[in-house]
Amino acid sequence: MIDKYTPEDFGNVVVLMGGNSAEREISLVTGNNILNALKRNNINAVGLDVQDDVAEKLLQLKPDRAFIALHGPGGEDGSIQGLLNYLKIPYTGSDVAACAVTLEKTYSKLIWEVLGIPTLPFRLVNDIEAAIDAMQYFGLPICVKPTNDGSSVGITKVTEPDQLPEAFKKAADYNKRVMIEPWIDGLEYTVGILGDTPLPVIEIRTPRTFYDFEAKYNEETTLYICPCELSAEKENELRYLALRAFQVLGCSGWGRVDLVANRAGDYFFLEVNTVPGMTDHSLVPKAADVMGINFDRLVLEILSYTLTSNVVVETNS
């Protein structure tokens, strides 16, 4: 699709990065990688660290479109998408509603439950008493996590009852809404989405307790198996189930769907990332590369979706 466009078709592009979430530093790396790719391809692009007065700065820059490279709250919750809608600036990725649903993990899971897409049962807890009740209900081990952050921040695997208070406090420090799920000891997978195409499945292996922030960005011991070791038939089934899990939440453009499998081979979808990382450790570029799509082409492909604008411009009837 990208081959039919020229740099002039994209006009002036602003790459929105940084922000104030717990994933700020990763967002800056993602954003600068994207910005450099755009410049290598002769696209007139500038970076903007989204902190104070972002609306005023956008009005000054007058971009023709925006590449959103913001992770977590402020970037994946619909906030920046709503502002860009108001300013009538087309942008990459999913719209306001889809972002709001996916960043709040419990909303995604409720929709999946209704539509029969496999996901783990959960309890939403607001205090330690409710957390204890959830632990007793599910049994150990359990996963304690904030409901609206990415990059595995604030997540703890609880294997002993006396670990729960600290795990709850850690999650609540990021968000007062804390989610508890049963912990699945099995395999971790992820499926990138590019347009209407699910990318090859990646199996993630780490010697750490789970694929946490350190395993994602700092460890060199994490293994990414792609092509994965599933049969071709099973992988294809999983890819298109992931695409459905993505689309039923209203997501579009690009993203990533994370899931786990238990030892019996049953799959459980965990969450959708509407602005995945684009660092040298990130998963969507790794999967795209297996399909013969290098980083620069991936960036241009994502940007090309803004040419069929997701911003509704009013017209006279």
Task: Summarize pLDDT for 240-273 with one digit per residue, the tens.
Answer: 999 999 999 999 999 999 999 998 989 999 999 9
CA 194 to chain centre: 13
Task: Summarize pLDDT for 113-158 with one digit per residue, the tens.
Answer: 999 999 999 999 999 999 999 999 999 999 999 988 654 678 999 9
Least Cα distance to 54 among 16, 25, 28 occurs for 16
109 within 8 A of 68, measured Cβ to Cβ: no
At 60, list the tokens: 């000054």
Least Cα distance to 190 among 181, 200, 180 occurs for 200
pLDDT surpasses 70 at 217 = no
- Domains belonging to the chain, first-starting first, are 2-92 (3.40.50.20), 102-118+186-298 (3.30.470.20), 123-182 (3.30.1490.20)
What is residue 166's three-state secondary structure? helix
Give the largest CA-CA distance in the chain: 65
pLDDT surpasses 60 at 315 = no
Residue 248 backbone phi and psi in degrees, to 5: -70, -15
Whole-structure pTM over 0.85, yes or no?
A: yes
At 289, list the tokens: 């590369």
CA 238 to chain centre: 18
pLDDT band at 219 (very low <50, low <70, confident <90, very high): low
For helices 54-61 and 79-86, angle between their N-to-C axes, nearest 10 degrees: 40
Enter the DSSP assignment of 209: S
What is residue 228's three-state secondary structure? coil
Strand partners, 71: none
Cα(70)–Cα(161) distance, rounded to whole angstroms?
36
pLDDT surpasses 60 at 215 = no
pLDDT surpasses 70 at 313 = no
Which residues are part of the catalytic machinery? Answer: 23, 151, 217, 256, 258, 271, 273, 277
